Amino acid sequence: MKNSIKLIAICYLLAGVGASFAQQSLPPVLQNVVQLSATGSVEVPQDMLSIAMSTTRDGSDASVVQSQLKSALDAALVEAKKVALPGQLELRTGNFSLYPRYGRDGKPIGWQGTAELILEGRDFARISGAAGKIQTLTVSHVSFNLSREQRTQVEGAAQSMAIERFKARAGDIARSFGFTGYSLREVNVSANDQGYSPRPRMMAMEAKAVSDAPVPVEAGKTAVLVTVSGSVQLK
């Protein structure tokens, strides 16, 4: 009987300790905490141009097709390197692939391949002029973007704007609820841009030059957005 009483007492003691430990491990209930966000936006002209030029060859002999692609790419590189300039017009080769073509019966009937050269930089006139002089490749894609330096500078301005708006909004909310101020609990900062460029005034098949006229291009603008979000403790 005494042993039974002792066992019951121990069980109650352990239950009490467990309940106390559970209460201590529970996170405190948050009060007067507000989640909010603010954005900053700066619009700037796009200062980087990228023109992708490519060609496709096909034939029954894989080595012949590959040789034709190499010759077309080599000729384009020779022409473009005449006016290449670091930061203003830089060159890099893109996709270079060779794959079999199949007939209706599933058997290979020949080979087809693609070679690509990309011209990019800040000097739009130099890049479009070089693209116009290349006779062995055609323009397949034109895109605009921001340079790293421009993006860093613009993001800094947009971030400062977003932070000031976040602070002002947090202060307004605190006063609206009858508090004198707030303290920052956590914050997240994210950036992205929304570009809008005019459609290049050409079709890919029309871009194959019959003269050395520059390829017509026109840049648009980009709105760089920075969002600051997080939570504040009203006090």
Q: How far apart are CA 131 and CA 117, in angstroms?
A: 10
Is 145:104 a contact under the CB 8 Å cutoff?
A: no
Within-domain flag for 208: yes
95 and 43: one domain? Answer: no
pTM for this model (two decimals): 0.70
Within-domain flag for 94: yes
Q: How far apart are CA 154 and CA 149, in angstroms?
A: 9
| pLDDT value of residue 16 | 57
Residue-by-residue DSSP string for 123-157: -HHHHHHHHHH--S-EEEEEEEE--HHHHHHHHHH
Within-domain flag for 1: no
| pLDDT value of residue 200 | 43
> What pLDDT tens digit does each residue of the chain (235 aa) get?
545 555 555 555 555 555 555 555 666 667 899 999 999 999 999 999 999 999 999 999 999 999 999 999 999 999 999 999 999 999 999 999 999 999 888 888 999 999 999 999 999 999 999 999 999 999 999 999 999 899 988 999 999 999 999 999 999 999 999 999 999 999 999 988 765 544 444 433 344 444 577 888 888 888 899 999 999 999 9
Within-domain flag for 128: yes
| pLDDT value of residue 105 | 87
130 and 177: one domain? Answer: no
Domain boundary (92, 112, 145) is at 145
Domain boundary (98, 130, 145) is at 145
226 and 151: one domain? Answer: yes
Domain boundary (92, 120, 145) is at 145
Is 146:157 a contact under the CB 8 Å cutoff?
A: no
| pLDDT value of residue 226 | 95
130 and 219: one domain? Answer: no
Within-domain flag for 196: yes
52 and 42: one domain? Answer: no
83 and 132: one domain? Answer: yes
Within-domain flag for 62: yes
Within-domain flag for 16: no
| pLDDT value of residue 210 | 45
CATH of the domain at 206: 3.30.110
191 and 122: one domain? Answer: no
Residue 169: both structure tokens together: 């909004």
Task: Give the 3-state secondary structure of residue 31.
Answer: coil
| pLDDT value of residue 207 | 42
Residue 31: both structure tokens together: 């009060």
55 and 124: one domain? Answer: yes
159 and 139: one domain? Answer: no
Q: Which range of residues forms the domain containing residue 179?
A: 27-47+146-235
Within-domain flag for 156: yes
Number of domains in the chain: 2
CATH of the domain at 71: 3.30.70.2970
156 and 213: one domain? Answer: yes
137 and 152: one domain? Answer: no
